[in-house]
Structure 1
Amino acid sequence: MRERWQPRVREPTRRQATTSTGLVVDVRARFGFTAAPGTTDDARIRHLTMAPPPQYAARLFRRPGIGAGEQQLRAIAAEGLGEMYFRDGGRRAHGLEVESTDVDQFEIDL
């Protein structure tokens, strides 16, 4: 049975996630990336549990309201994981494009 949060509980939690705390994304999928010539990495299965920056939470919460599908939501989450895991918040791997396929597990928690 699906639990339903009361609107007065849900909205402050979403607001907090989109402005300060973000979300926790737990995913097991095939991740690969491409970058500058000669720096590609073949995709491999990775199990990542990370907290992307709050702006990704804001994008995830905005999308369902405009009819985004599961693939679009996963792409936003993969982008956030790419920023945190592969590019280390902009400190390395500039220009790296992350792609995720073969999603085995995908969970988002507040």
Structure 2
Amino acid sequence: MGKIADGLEAADRNVFTRPIPKSAGARMRFLVRQAKGSTKAVARRLGVSQRTVQRYVAGQRKHPPKALAEALEREVRKEWQPRVRRRAEKRAATSTGIAVEARARFGFTAAPGSTDDGRMRRITQQLPPVYARRLFDARAAGASERELRDIVAEGLQEVYFKDGGRRAPGLVVEFTDIDYVEMSY
């Protein structure tokens, strides 16, 4: 994943009301429940054999190799507390918006005579609900990192650089060389 997608995932984790299961067996049982009892589907998802999944579910194995442990955690986080996540996303997309803190290179396409050279900036800005909705919809549709970055860039352009349309008409912001992005909603 990219930095924007990772920032959205981290924001999702911050809205969880309970921590994810700790043990490999508990995580595996959770995934099997989500797959409606299909150990075969979970095995395909994790890239292991069906028998391996069954061993963790039965408690015969307790300590997965590093690659499996990482895949297990990643897949559990994707499925964990979907109602809590949906409720928080709906609130962000309809009323509160999404807060973005980024350190990246911002450049401009603007009128002649302006300073349009890109430079590193650290910006913290609350984007309106419309941008949160667009981000969530794009992520659900499987948008690329570039598409997610363009949505964030457009939001920062309109809210931060153009001040909601009160200044810099015609300004187009370039959002590149992202150092980090943190989001919350």
Paired-residue identity, %: 58
Partner of 1:109: 184
Partner of 1:31: 106
**Higher RCO (CA-CA < 8 Å; seq separation 6+):** 1
Partner of 2:93: 18
Deviation of 1:38 (Å): 2.5
Which runs of no fewer than 5 residues in structure 1 stay unpaired?
none
Deviation of 1:39 (Å): 2.5
Higher radius of gyration, 1 or 2: 2
Distance 2:80 2:102 in 1: 24
SS at match of 2:117: strand
Partner of 2:151: 76
Partner of 2:175: 100
Partner of 2:82: 7
Asked whether the 8 Å contact 1:29–1:100 carries over to 2, the reply is yes
Which runs of no fewer than 5 residues in structure 2 stay unpaired?
1-72
Distance 1:12 1:27 in 2: 25
- Give yes or no for the alignment of 1:62 onto 2:160: no
Q: What is the TM-score when the length of structure 1 is the normalising length?
A: 0.91
Asked whether the 8 Å contact 1:34–1:40 carries over to 2, the reply is no
Distance 1:91 1:82 in 2: 12
Q: What is the aligned counterpart of 1:46 among 117, 121, 143?
A: 121
After superposition, give the CA deviation of every residue in 1:60-87 in whole Å (9 maximum; x if it has no partner).
0000122201121111111101111110
Task: Report how many aligned residue pairs link the two structures.
Answer: 110
Q: What is the TM-score when the length of structure 2 is the normalising length?
A: 0.56
Higher relative strand content: 1
SS at match of 1:46: strand
Distance 1:51 1:29 in 2: 17
Distance 2:127 2:139 in 1: 18
Paired AA for residue 107 in structure 1: E
After superposition, give the CA deviation of every residue in 1:24-81 in whole Å (9 maximum; x if it has no partner).
1111000011112333421100001111111000000000122201121111111101
After superposing the two structures, state which structure 1 stretch, 4-13 or 93-102, moved more.
4-13
